[in-house]
Amino acid sequence: MSAFLDACRRKPSTHTPIWLMRQAGRYQASYQAIRSKVSFLELCKTPDLACQVTVDAVEQLGVDAAIIFADILLVLDPLGIDFDFEKGHGPKIYNPVRDAKAIDAMPETIDAEASLGYVMEAIRLVRRAIDVPLIGFSAAPFTLAAYAIEGGGSKSYYETKQLMYGDEGAWKVLMTKVADALALYLRAQVDAGAQALQLFDSWVGILSPADYERYVAPYTKRIFDALSDVDVPTLHFGTGNPELLVPMQEVGGDVIGVDWRIDLGDAWDRLGGPEETAVQGNLEPAMLLAPVDVMKAAADEVLKSAGGHPGHIFNLGHGIMPTATVDQVRALVDHVHEKTSR
Active-site amino acid positions: 22, 26, 35, 71, 147
21 binds ligand CP3 (CB under 6 A): yes
Contact between residue 61 and residue 20 where contact means Cβ atoms under 8 Å apart:
yes
- Which range, of 84-92, 273-281, 285-293, 304-312, touches ligand CP3 by CB under 6 A? 84-92
Q: Which is nearer to ligand CP3, 170 or 313 (CB)?
A: 313
Contact between residue 38 and residue 69 where contact means Cβ atoms under 8 Å apart:
no
319 binds ligand CP3 (CB under 6 A): yes
What is the rounded distance in angstroms from the CA atom of residue 61 to the CA atom of residue 52? 14
Query: Nearest residue to ligand CP3, using CB?
Result: 202
- Show the site string, 47-76: x = touches ligand CP3 by CB under 6 A, - = not: --------------------x-x-xxx---
Cis peptide bond N-terminal to 282, omega within 30: yes
Q: Which of 14, 85, 289, 290 binds ligand CP3 (CB under 6 A)?
A: 85
What is the rounded distance in angstroms from the CA atom of residue 105 to the CA atom of residue 144? 17
C-alpha distance from residue 91 to each of 40, 74, 182 (Å): 11, 11, 19
Q: Which of 2, 14, 15, 26 binds ligand CP3 (CB under 6 A)?
A: 26
What is the pairing mode between strands 90-93 and 83-86? antiparallel
Count of residues that bind ligand CP3 according to CB under 6 A: 21
Q: Which is nearer to ligand CP3, 170 or 199 (CB)?
A: 199
Q: Which is nearer to ligand CP3, 35 or 309 (CB)?
A: 35
79 binds ligand CP3 (CB under 6 A): no
What is the rounded distance in angstroms from the CA atom of residue 216 to the CA atom of residue 295? 35
Task: Supply the minimum distance, in Å, between the C-beta of residue 161 and ligand CP3.
Answer: 18
- Show the site string, 151-190: x = touches ligand CP3 by CB under 6 A, - = not: --x-------------------------------------
Q: What part of residues 209-268 is at the interface with ligand CP3 (CB under 6 A)?
A: none
Q: Is 89 exposed, middle or buried (0-12, 13-18, 19+ CB in 10 A)?
A: exposed
Q: Which secondary structure element, helix H or strand E, spans residue 107, and what is its range?
A: none
Task: Supply the minimum distance, in Å, between the C-beta of residue 91 and ligand CP3.
Answer: 5
Task: Supply the minimum distance, in Å, between the C-beta of residue 169 and ligand CP3.
Answer: 27
What is the pairing mode between strands 278-283 and 83-86? unpaired
Task: Supply the minimum distance, in Å, between the C-beta of residue 311 and ligand CP3.
Answer: 22
91 binds ligand CP3 (CB under 6 A): yes
15 binds ligand CP3 (CB under 6 A): no
Strand runs (DSSP E) across the chain, as ranges? Answer: 66-67, 83-86, 90-93, 134-139, 196-201, 234-238, 255-257, 278-283, 312-316
What is the rounded distance in angstroms from the CA atom of residue 144 to the CA atom of residue 138? 9
SS3 at position 86: strand
Q: Which of 22, 124, 221, 309 binds ligand CP3 (CB under 6 A)?
A: 22
Q: Which is nearer to ligand CP3, 170 or 233 (CB)?
A: 233
Task: Determine how many CB atoms are found less than 10 A away from the CB of residue 37.
Answer: 9
What is the rounded distance in angstroms from the CA atom of residue 44 to the CA atom of residue 30? 15
Q: What part of residues 123-152 is at the interface with ligand CP3 (CB under 6 A)?
A: 137
What are the residues binding ligand CP3 (CB under 6 A)?
21-26, 35, 40, 67, 69, 71-73, 85, 90-91, 137, 153, 200, 202, 319
